[in-house]
């Protein structure tokens, strides 16, 4: 049976990329050694890292003056690295979910914070009615809220750029990087775990404007200092070799498939198909406010009168090959993640499955 992988993260990768990774695990570059056992300082791996960085720059249209890093530690380590490196006194946060809140928590350890939140509405929308304090060292946003299925739309991002004025903008883009074009020059720093839309777990990407660094007065531990990793070309210590290799393959795949603008078109079509099915359904309903719905993570629940059928649908969908559609415990219900590698056919299969179940329920 065909499996459709809707996991939120680690998540789906293109089959071709998985196959190429498997080949390199057996024999990297036809050199007779596995990618698992080569030196990170070898010419072969340096070429991989260089190509991955170059493809990030090309696909995201990253201007001069920015560095692209692949590090360890996950997005979660960035929650503290950001204030460590950028916060002198005060930082502002858009608190749009569990991840944003965790990022905010770390900043509180370094000084004064201000935050704008939709926590009272279980993070079902993106707050819009606030202003960014102009004395903040930076403003931190989470562009896509993986758990709640909300995303800052392109239009709302424009509004945020206006609100920021001269305040540096920092973004956690773990779950929507490369899913749509972004105007990188509007950001001081962008980071994320690579395991949602780029690579298997183990690598963290950072895109940082070089001139925002070196401004805080505190001592920054060597491994937590971005400058260390810029100077070391992501090789200050051993980088996550295999995830970076897969990232490079996946970035090639994205380029061959039309780049980020083409990915956005496909992502809009996929999400539209699933949201239409949800909105037309008599038994399912979406949880995020429509204006802030995510293209990457689609959250839906059973309507109150059909709550008792939740487990039945889970079983029904699992029998038809759907994987990873259980919602996060803080939202409940279901979540289908539609990252770049998910095909429209996969989304159609889920929609068909929802409709078939609904017909059975209504008939029964």
Q: CA-to-CA distance for 351 and 364, rounded, in angstroms?
A: 20
Q: Which stretch binds ligand PLP (CB under 6 A): 28-36, 105-113, 171-179, 287-295?
A: 171-179
- The residue within the footprint of ligand PLP, chosen from 20, 21, 113, 174 (CB under 6 A), is 174
- At its nearest, how many Å lie between ligand PLP and the CB of residue 359? 34
Number of residues that bind ligand PLP (CB under 6 A): 12
Residue 200 touches ligand PLP, criterion: CB under 6 A: no
Which of 76/228 has CB closer to ligand PLP? 76
- At its nearest, how many Å lie between ligand PLP and the CB of residue 55? 21
What is the bridge-based pairing of β-strands 4-5 and 284-286?
unpaired
Residue 83 touches ligand PLP, criterion: CB under 6 A: no
Which of 152/248 has CB closer to ligand PLP? 152
- At its nearest, how many Å lie between ligand PLP and the CB of residue 325? 17
What is the bridge-based pairing of β-strands 297-302 and 334-337?
antiparallel
**b/e map of 41-51 (b: 16 or more CB within 10 Å)?**
eeeebeebbeb
Beta bridge partners of 360: none
Residue 172 touches ligand PLP, criterion: CB under 6 A: yes
Q: CA-to-CA distance for 219 and 203, rounded, in angstroms?
A: 25
- The residue within the footprint of ligand PLP, chosen from 6, 9, 247, 354 (CB under 6 A), is 9
- Chain-centre distance of CA 280, in angstroms? 28
Residues 61-80, interacting with ligand PLP (CB under 6 A) = 74-76
3-state SS assignment for residue 334: strand
- At its nearest, how many Å lie between ligand PLP and the CB of residue 147? 7
Which of 146/287 has CB closer to ligand PLP? 146
Q: CA-to-CA distance for 263 and 197, rounded, in angstroms?
A: 11
Residues 137-166, interacting with ligand PLP (CB under 6 A) = 142, 146
Cβ contact 123:145 at 8 Å: yes
Cβ contact 132:167 at 8 Å: yes
Q: Which residues are catalytic?
A: 99, 172, 196
Q: What is the chain's length?
A: 364
E strand or H helix at 25, and its extent? helix 15-26
Residue 175 touches ligand PLP, criterion: CB under 6 A: yes
Residue 190 touches ligand PLP, criterion: CB under 6 A: no
Contact flags string 212-251 toward ligand PLP, x per CB under 6 A: ----------------------------------------
Contact partners, residue 10, CB within 8 Å, separation at least 6? 195, 196, 200, 201
- The residue within the footprint of ligand PLP, chosen from 14, 149, 193, 333 (CB under 6 A), is 193
Beta bridge partners of 206: 69, 191
**b/e map of 184-223 (b: 16 or more CB within 10 Å)?**
eeebbbbbbbbbbbbbbebbbbbbbbeebbeebeeebeee
> What secondary structure letter does DSSP report for 270?
H
Q: Note the residues at the interface with ligand PLP (CB under 6 A).
A: 9, 74-76, 99, 142, 146, 172, 174-175, 193, 196
């Amino acid at each position: 049976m065909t499996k459709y992988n809707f996991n939120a993260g680690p998540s789906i990768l293109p089959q071709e990329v998985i196959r190429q990774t498997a080949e390199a695990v057996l024999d990297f570059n036809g050199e007779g050694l596995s990618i698992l056992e080569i030196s990170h300082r070898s010419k072969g791996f340096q070429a991989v890292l260089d190509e991955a960085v170059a493809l990030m720059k090309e696909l995201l249209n990253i201007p001069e003056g920015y560095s692209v890093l692949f590090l360890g530690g996950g997005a979660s380590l960035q929650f503290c690295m950001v204030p460590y490196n950028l916060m002198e006194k005060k930082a502002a946060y858009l608190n749009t979910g569990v991840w944003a809140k965790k990022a905010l928590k770390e900043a509180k350890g370094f000084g004064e914070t201000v935050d704008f939140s939709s926590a009272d509405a279980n993070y079902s929308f993106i707050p819009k009615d606030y202003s960014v304090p102009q004395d903040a060292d930076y403003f931190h946003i989470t562009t896509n809220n993986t758990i709640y299925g909300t995303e800052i739309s392109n239009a709302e991002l424009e509004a945020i750029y206006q609100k920021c004025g001269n305040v540096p903008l920092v973004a956690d883009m773990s779950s929507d990087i490369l899913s749509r074009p972004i105007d990188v020059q509007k950001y001081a720093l962008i980071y994320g775990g690579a395991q949602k839309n780029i690579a298997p777990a183990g690598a963290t990407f950072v895109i940082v404007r070089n001139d925002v660094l070196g401004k805080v007065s505190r001592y920054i531990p060597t491994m937590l200092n971005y400058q260390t990793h810029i100077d070391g070309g992501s090789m200050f210590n051993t980088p996550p070799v295999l995830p970076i290799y897969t990232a490079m393959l996946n970035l090639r795949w994205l380029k061959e498939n039309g780049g980020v603008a083409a990915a956005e078109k496909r992502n809009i079509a996929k999400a539209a198909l699933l949201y239409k099915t949800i909105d037309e359904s008599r038994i399912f309903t979406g949880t995020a406010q429509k204006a802030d719905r995510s293209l990457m993570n689609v959250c839906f629940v059973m309507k109150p009168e059909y709550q008792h059928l939740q487990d039945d649908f889970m079983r029904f969908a699992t029998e038809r090959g759907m994987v990873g559609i259980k919602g996060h415990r803080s939202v409940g219900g279901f979540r289908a993640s539609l990252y770049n590698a998910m095909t429209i056919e996969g989304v159609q299969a889920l929609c068909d499955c929802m409709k078939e179940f609904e017909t059975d329920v209504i008939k029964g």
